Amino acid sequence: MRSNTPEETPCPVCGEPYDERIVVERGDRWADAFGGPPLSVLAQYRRWCASERDAERETVRGEGERVVYFHDDRPAAGR
């Protein structure tokens, strides 16, 4: 996963800055894609968007692939 700063390309789904992104493919298991138990990712991010568009590479991903953009909408003090 890679961090994104507000000056960089926004999420193609909601238009907001995102904190991290990951590309997942059909057949990936949770541990393969996220490297930990489901609650570790779900508790860390308040919102996520999935799209065929890869904002960082400015391409459309192939069939069976999605880019997931993770958003942490909590105030910085609450992180």
Q: Tens digit of pLDDT for each residue in 6-63?
A: 457 899 999 999 998 999 999 888 888 877 777 777 788 888 999 999 999 899 999 9
pLDDT at 7: 55
Q: What is the SS3 assignment for the chain?
A: CCCCCCCCCCCCCCCCCCCEEEEEECCCCHHHHHCCCHHHHHHHCCEEEEECEECCCCEECCCCEEEEEEECCCCHHHC
pLDDT at 76: 53
Record the pTM. 0.76
pLDDT at 23: 92
